């Protein structure tokens, strides 16, 4: 059975799927710089896409990697205009994370045929949920997604 968050977030028209690593000096789940780092990058993404930050749809989840034990993030981004989803734009989004953090990232066009939402949320699967420390298992959702669901039918560009 799907959790309610996954069910709801699968209705969002996502544009990009991102894998964001962190440098060694930002590897602790409790580090207060993590939030400001993510928000700085999200604001750059919105600016690059030519939209206001409050209109950018996003969800992030931090986790500790299974192989290396390093903290990293997965993110879904939506609400971007078509030019901001191009290959060139995806490289710019990737490079912006790497410029801010001096660390690696991967940015892909979101593929509805793959379980991107479930991957970011870890879909409640026992194996996935059980292998990570709860201190790093944090999902953050933008206020713009909450607004889209409150608007219901008026948000047809955002929701499926």
Distances, alpha carbon 130 to alpha carbons 46, 66, 69, 71, in Å: 34, 11, 14, 16
Ordered structural domains, the chain, with CATH:
4-155 (3.30.70.1910)
The pLDDT of residue 90 is 93
The pLDDT of residue 124 is 42
The answer to whether the beta carbons of residues 107 and 59 sit under 8 Å apart is no
Q: Which residue has the tokens 């999902």?
A: 139
Lay out the sheet containing 14-21: strands in order across.
105-109, 14-21, 71-78, 57-64, 138-141
Mean pLDDT of 7-22: 85
Distances, alpha carbon 11 to alpha carbons 18, 59, 82, in Å: 18, 13, 19
Residue 69 has pLDDT above 80, yes or no: no
pLDDT in tens, 78-97: 999 988 889 999 999 999 99
The reported pTM is 0.80
The rounded Cα 92 to chain-centroid distance in angstroms is 16
The pLDDT of residue 140 is 78
Residue 151 has pLDDT above 50, yes or no: yes
pLDDT in tens, 92-146: 999 999 999 888 999 999 888 776 777 777 644 433 444 444 444 677 778 887 7
Residue 159 has pLDDT above 60, yes or no: no
Torsion angles phi and psi, residue 143, rounded to 5: -65, -25
The pLDDT of residue 157 is 55
């Amino acid at each position: 059975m799907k959790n309610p968050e996954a069910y709801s977030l699968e209705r969002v028209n996502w544009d990009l799927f991102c894998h964001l690593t962190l440098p060694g000096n930002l590897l602790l789940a409790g580090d207060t710089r993590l939030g400001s780092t993510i928000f700085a990058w999200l604001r750059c993404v919105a600016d690059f896409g030519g939209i206001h930050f409050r209109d950018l749809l996003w969800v992030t989840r931090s986790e500790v990697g299974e192989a290396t034990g390093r903290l990293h993030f997965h993110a879904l981004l939506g609400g971007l205009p078509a030019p901001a989803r191009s290959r060139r734009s995806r490289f710019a989004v990737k490079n912006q994370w790497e410029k801010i953090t001096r660390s690696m990232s991967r940015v892909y066009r979101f593929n509805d045929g793959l379980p991107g939402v479930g991957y970011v949320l870890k879909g409640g699967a026992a194996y996935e949920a059980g292998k990570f420390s709860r201190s790093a298992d944090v999902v953050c959702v933008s206020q713009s997604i909450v607004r889209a669901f409150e608007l219901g039918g008026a948000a047809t560009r955002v929701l499926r």
